[in-house]
Structure 1
Amino acid sequence: MTTTLANNLVHAFEVYRPDGDRLSALNDANNSYGHGEGAVGYAWAEGVPVFEHGDEGHTTLAIPSLREQECRGVIALHCRESEGLCGAFEVWRRNERGELGIDKGWYPGLQRLEQVSRYIKFPRRAGLPGRVWDDRFPRVLGGLEDSKNFVRVAAARSERLGSALGVPFMGKPPELDAVLLMLNTRERPIARAMEVWSRDLATGQLKIVSADYGPHAELAAESRRLTLRLGEGIAGHVYRDLVPWSTSDLLGFEFPRGERFANAGLTSGLGFPVFIGADLVACVNLYL
């Protein structure tokens, strides 16, 4: 099933799950990829996010979720450049000196950020990529224009960046292979809300550990108080089934805060699991 969006760099997204020896799109078994086929299959094979650039400014970003060597699913974000739409996706990988350097990136409308990023390296714990590396845990960071944790703060101010998401991807053995960053502008964010969920070992319930909701204060207030059980909301489904999930009905799917999503004009969301080895450590939710 392909979910389409309007007025967003991501104009459509798909969730792929294991189906025998292939990955099939949710609710569409005819849309499938084998190991190494297309961006989806290549992300499965490589275990890190993969870009596929097409014609007329179209780009697909495939984001895999691997539990040890088992692929539990791939999220495909279909993007296109359009006037007035800005944002960035970056893949940072370790170099021969043990630092994170830019490996691949896509920066529509953010040329200054692209230029600066070519020359920056992140040691462990430095900046958002280095912190995600050290923690081996995803993180949402808001207020980039004033954040001490965002090294490229001058570029953030000039490009009017608002928030960022960092996600680790582990190699074999479970050492860091790559960090994915998604960078949102204030006016036209790629994801209008982002959350990282984790399980409280004492209660077994899920709670938000970092998030950004942009201007949606009522949604932020209710969400930060919320806890979920397995099978509740996107995060509860991801934790229960250990696969990515998506919905185009946040009003009904994200009870009891569905009305807050509706009031914010949000109808679609997706979530994907983040594994360290065999352990599910977090779920990342994007509301587009």
Structure 2
Amino acid sequence: MHASRFIPSLLLLLLSAWPGGVSSAPAAQRIAAPAVTERALTDARAGQTGSLASVAQAGSQQPARGSQGRILFILASSKVHGTSALPASISFGEVVNAWDTFQAAGYAVDFVSPEGGAVPILDSYVGKDMQPRLKDESIMNGLRNTATPAQIDASRYRAVYYVGGSNAMYGVAEHPLLQNIAMQVYERHGGVISAVCHGTAGIVNLKLASGHHLVSGKRISGFPEEHEEQDAAYFKQFPFLIRKTVESRGGSFHVVNNDAPHIEVDGRLVTGQNYASATPVAKAVVEVLRQLAEPQPKPGTAKG
């Protein structure tokens, strides 16, 4: 072989073998590992370290190139109402309708619940239009493998979304780690807090760094106690009432007297009244995030 051709080939071979040298792997194989593997999992207060595998399973879909970021769905773990044997469930449609909206807008979705793992889905909470989605593994895998609060790094999320369903009344509102996650997203990272239907129960105890309740002075919606079956056994298990608690915390509670969608948007807080409000809530969150992402004009700068 001619020397002028042999020397460059020899140099390339040496560089390939040298640590940090030229790689022969295709570019697609040199992309860094998914961000989920970089999540901080330790939480001293919980005394847990979490599992990379379970968080990866809970990460229902990785953001595509050009993704807007991630939304964290907060669900309840309780399978019964309070101390009774009465079955309770998440609202599957409130997951699906919001999921579809966020995915269409370019956001990835993760799930968290107080206990982690599978959350309850009762057939009575799944309408005929939603039944085919029970076979949608992109959603169902996440609902079967929700992360624990200790496995969540709040800095990764642009918003949280509290899902409704009758079990949302139990185990979420009083959970300190879930409270901390939501308020980090809201105060430290300038994100959005949202909730729909009974999911509004999850925000009633949230407090700002100032010590004031998040709902204080805010327009709030959610499923009101006057729309409940107040003579039913499940209702007697409720640890608190949504409207009454919001108003006792200084919030202004707003609903309509039918099943029509109704939402309230107050700054970076978005709440919806009922099942039909899941899609409008998600759309409003997307719009608020869009506005937050827009460059703000400098003080004194006149618009053209």
* TM-score of the pair, normalised by structure 1: 0.27
- Between Structure 1 and Structure 2, whose CA radius of gyration is higher? 2
**Higher RCO (CA-CA < 8 Å; seq separation 6+):** 2
**More strand, by proportion:** 1
Task: Give the structure-2-normalised TM-score.
Answer: 0.26
Which structure shows the higher helix fraction?
2
